[in-house]
Chains A and B, each alone.
Chain A
Amino acid sequence: MSEQRLLEVLSQVDDQFITEATPGQREIKPAHWKKWVSLAVSVCIVLTVLLLGFGVSYAAAGGNIFYLAGQLFQQATGNPTDPNVSDPIVAKYKDNEIRASVVAYYKELDALKNQNATTVRSDLEIINSIIETLILLEEAERLGLSATDEEIQSMVQNTIRAYENPGGKEMMDAYLAGSGMTFDEYLAKIEEQAPRTITRQKMLDHIGKQYCEEHGIEFTKLNPPAEMVAAQDAYLRNLFEQNKDNIEYYIDISTGS
């Protein structure tokens, strides 16, 4: 019997099995990517402290910066008020609302990270970058590139190890003091946000690897080839363009504010 025949005879299996296996009917658990989406339109500074500290010593960065980053997080997440009154929607992607406070938060964080920078991102650029993340997460989900439990736990363990390092401890303690969180609360936030961060990175790696394979280049994340980075950017731009009809802006996009 050939595999072709087996494939054909499979057509005759019971209707109940065919109906049961229909793709797209499983209820997606909110614990998975729906949760990441809501996080994508909220503040996610907890991990930023690691980005701020990456390759920079506490003293070189100016120790105060971590305390201030923690304070920003505390301000953005503490004392919630009625969002419809004090926090207008500035943009929507499908059902995801982007609030003014989230944009303001990222703007302040940008300013903190780039104290010597001459340019800062406009509201529109920040909004588009949040939407880009949402679209990227959707695409990753479609391609089955979700973060695994092992990857999430590995990120948590890396954070614990970083805290055991004296330099890392100093930075994180400053951040925790600013945010008013304990280290355990910080770890819980890391675990909550890790799926989104990991998935986003896996998706970018996927695009990069695909490009490198097609062009006979070695894939690397350390000093990545410029053409691979350009291909990743082009892919993101294309995804964004494809989803433009799902975006609604409630700001003046001609001025970006």
Chain B
Amino acid sequence: MEDTQIVELYWTRSEDAIDETDKKYGRFCHSIAYNILYNEGDTRECVNDTYLKAWQSMPPHRPDPLSAFLGKITRNTALNRYKYNRAQLRAPSQTPLVLEELHECIPDPKTTDQIIEDMALAQLLNDFLASLPEQTRVIFLQRYWYLCTVHQIAADQGVSVSKVKMTLLRTREKLRQLLEKEGIAV
């Protein structure tokens, strides 16, 4: 099914929207979440949360492309889950659970300054990515956006593992220099 048709299902509040999303993008969302969480149960929950958030976002959104929209939701959800899991490991108590529950009451825990800073950083990252050769950009994002292993990237791109490692090393160094130049310390 075409993306526009799936989005239309969300807009008409048809429950088929979730089924069709799962058919077309289930594996895609699963691989993003799994690369972050490395746990099948958490991954499945994360993908289900993604569908719920997509349901809550459409309308008013009409994402295009749908894949990137779902990918972003999955990635953010999985990263939050990862943080939560780590916090729970550090403090095996009810605290993380309570914080998680309270977190849902806060519209956006970030301050305005942080949001503006993040937006500026995102713009800087976009400019940086645009300046890279296509394969370098793809390798960089497969590692740091999709969190693929270097072996997976090498297989996907048809290059050696050492080439992937070298490309990542050089690109990280370039990014570090750019962030330093812009006064953003990593």
A85 at the interface (CB under 8 A from B): no
The reply to whether B158 and A32 contact each other, CB–CB distance below 8 Å, is yes
A3 to B160, CA, bound (A): 27
A142's closest neighbor in chain B, by CB? B155
Contacts of A22 in B (CB 8 A): 28, 67, 71, 146
Q: A13-B122, A15-B69, A146-B160 are in contact. Are A21 and B155 (CB under 8 A)?
A: no
The reply to whether B72 and A19 form a contact with Cβ atoms under 8 Å apart is no
Q: Which of B68, B148, B153, B158 contacts A15 (CB 8 A)?
A: B68
The answer to whether A9 and B156 touch across the interface, beta carbons within 8 angstroms, is: no
Closest Cβ neighbor of A22 among chain B residues: B67
CB distance from A215 to the nearest CB of B (A): 22
B178 within 8 A of A: no
Is residue A7 within 8 Å, beta carbon to beta carbon, of the partner chain? yes
Tell me the smallest distance from the CB of A154 to a CB of chain B, in Å: 14
Complex alpha-carbon distance, A21 and B83, angstroms: 25
Q: How many residues of B contact A (CB 8 A)?
A: 44
Q: Which of B47-55, B93-101, B134-142 contacts A (4 or more CB under 8 A)?
A: B134-142
Binds B, one of A23-31, A65-73, A185-193: A23-31
Query: In the docked arrangement, what's the CA distance between A154 and B65, Å?
Result: 46
Let me know if A205 is at the binding interface, CB within 8 A: no
Give Cα distance in the complex from A148 to B142, angstroms.
22
A120 CB to nearest chain B CB (Å): 37
Using a Cβ cutoff of 8 Å, how many contacts connect chains A and B? 106
Smallest CB separation, A138 vs chain B (Å): 10
- Inside 8 A of B144's CB, which chain A residues have their CB? 7, 10
B9 within 8 A of A: no
Contact of B141 among A1, A4, A17, A24 (CB under 8 A): A17
B116 within 8 Å of A by Cβ?
Answer: no
Contact between B142 and A23, CB atoms less than 8 A apart: yes
Which residues on B are within 8 Å of A, measured CB to CB? 28, 31, 65, 67-69, 71-72, 75-76, 79, 83, 118-119, 121-122, 125-126, 129, 134, 137-138, 140-142, 144-146, 148, 150-158, 160-161, 164, 184-186
